[in-house]
Each structure stands twice: as structure tokens, then as C-alpha cells.
Amino acid sequence: MGRAPCCSKVGLHRGPWTPREDTLLVKYIQAHGEGHWRSLPKKAGLLRCGKSCRLRWMNYLRPDIKRGNITPDEEDLIIRLHSLLGNRWSLIAGRLPGRTDNEIKNYWNTHLSKRLLSQGTDPNTHKKLPPDNPVVVLVPKKKRKNKSTKPTEQEKPKIHLPKPSRFTSSVCTTKSSSQGGENGQVLVPWSEYINDDENRTGFLCYNDNHDLINSSDFECQSHHDHDHDQVLGAEGDSNDSLEKIYEEYLQLLKTNEDQVQLDSFAESLLI
DNA sequence: AACAGTAGCAACCGCCAACTG
DNA sequence: GCAGTTGGCGGTTGCTACTGT
């Protein structure tokens, strides 16, 4: 029994990704598409575990990633969605176009949970804490060794719901060439080169000589699932979609104190 | 200037469900 | 139906930058 590890760890790179590794990965995915993560590193010439490649792509290299600060609207939506969905970061991320589950999870852990605590709200239950009972059990960072001890008390029963799929995937092509990867051109996230990445979205392009090419030469085509389009709209309408979800949720809050209604709203988000 | 403590976040780990033969 | 494989998720770690002393 036992599962084979996802990859042999011997001789594989770990830790932060280098621009060169990013380049290789982006090039490969542009040419061959996502998927087959296990075999991808070898084919792409990367000394990385497939899982690591997938994570890097999903969280940083995808063209539709929105870098930069979380806006107050997004913050509010995260808090509301968290109160409905709990720590299901991928679901929450699915409602925030361009944001990744990892980003939202990190943001929650470092900013939002602390803020809620400081406001006297339990970040787990989203209920007001008794004023005289500072349950500021700022979960001490414990060095994990024995994972078998699962959290027990007040743990919500595990619900197995259909896994959501990302609402979009994008393919970037240059206007000047039919394939983004042609002419040795490579897309690299802004953040790789720009430090003041205030709400910047997009990629820089450079060729094999690392000569930067104007990213305005790119046009991104998002391939949306129609159903998701109806819910979230196109990429450019992300603010609208946020507001729509807000509105819907606020209406429920106003008109209904029935938890069942709210639950069904949460369920609807899962589809 | 040097050091210690803290915060932020990229990356890793282990588990699980879906898929495949 | 079963076992192996793959992809995806949430929790956690550990590095780095920042801040305070």
C-alpha cells in the first residue's frame, strides 16, 4: 500500500523559482497547455516536482493573475464569503477574479483574521466575542511533526461538495505572431520586474535575449465557461460581479434572517 | 551599526477525490 | 470493484524584509 510520492525528490530544485525556471515553465505551457504536471517538468527541462510547477503556474504565472493590493471591496467580500464558506479558499478565490486561493489564504491569515479579532469578532465563527473574554488564542505557530492530530473541538463536519473549477483560463498571444512562444518570446509577470505593482495585471514579454518587449503587443483571450459568465461576467467586469454577489448577499441579510436561505445562497456559490 | 523580534508570503507537505485501466 | 495515478486543496513551514531596541 502507500502512495508513491508525486516525484522523486532526488536532484530536484526546491525553494524560490528563478526567472529562468519561470521562463521554461511559461514557454512550455504556452506551447503545450496545462496539465500532465507529473511529466511536465521533464519535458520542459525543469528540475522541479510537477506539483511545484503546477503551484507556480496557478499562483503566479497564469496570465489572468491579478497582482497588487486587495481592495477594500475584495476584503469585504472575502470576509463575507469566509463567513459562508469557511476556509474553502479555492471557492472564495473562485469568486474573486484574478485572485488565487493561496493569496487569499495568506491575506486572511495575516490581515483579516487579525483585524476581525481586534474588532472583537471570532474569525472562525464570525460571531462577536464576549468583551470580557478575549479569546485571542492567536494559534501559536507550532512546528508540525505529527499531523495525525486533527483539530477536534468546534470543528465543522466535513462536507464533500463538488469541486469548483476555475472560472477562466486565458491564452495570451502576441499580435505580431500567432503563438506567444514564437520568436522565443516569453511572458513574465509584472511582479518579476516591477516592485510598485499596485494593482497591476499583466505580463512583460521578453525574448531569449531577455530583451523586454512592450506588453501592449499582447492581447489576452479569456475562454469562459458560459455558466460562469452569467454569474461573474467577463474578466473586465470583475467589479460588477463582486457587486452582484454583494448585492445578492446583502439582500438576503436584510430580508431574511433564516439561516437556511443564507446556506442555500452559499450552496449556489459552489456551483 | 548590530541584533532580535515580527510580519508577510512563496513554497512545500500530506491528504483526498476523481479519474483511469 | 480495485489499485494506481493525477490533480487539487487546505494547512503549515521557513525565508526574507521590515521594525524596534
Tens digits of residue pLDDT in A158-208: 333 333 333 333 333 333 333 333 344 445 444 444 333 334 444 444 444
Whose cell is 470583475? That residue is A238
* C-beta separation of A103 from A92 below 8 A: no
Residues 85-114 of chain A within 7 A of strand C, judged by CB, are 87-91, 101-102, 105-106, 109
CB-strand contact A50/C, under 7 Å: yes
Distance A36 CA to B20 C1' (A): 14
Which of the 247-266 residues on chain A come under 7 Å of nucleic strand C at their beta carbon?
A: none
Longest dimension (CA), chain A: 66
Domains of chain A: 19-61 (1.10.10), 72-119 (1.10.10.60)
Round to a whole number and report the distance in Å from the CA of A101 to the C1' of B15. 17
Alpha-helix residue ranges (DSSP H) falling in chain A: 19-32, 40-44, 50-56, 72-85, 89-94, 101-107, 113-118, 226-232, 238-255, 259-270
Is the pLDDT assigned to residue A108 strictly greater than 60?
yes
Question: Measured from the CB, is A192 under 7 Å from any atom of strand B?
Answer: no
Per-residue pLDDT averaged across A31-59, rounded? 87
Cell readout for A158 is 466535513
Q: What digits encode the pLDDT tens for the residues A56-72?
A: 998 888 888 887 788 88
Per DSSP, the residues of A74-138 read HHHHHHHHHHHH-S-HHHHHHTSTT--HHHHHHHIIIIIHHHHHHTTB-TTT--BPPTT------
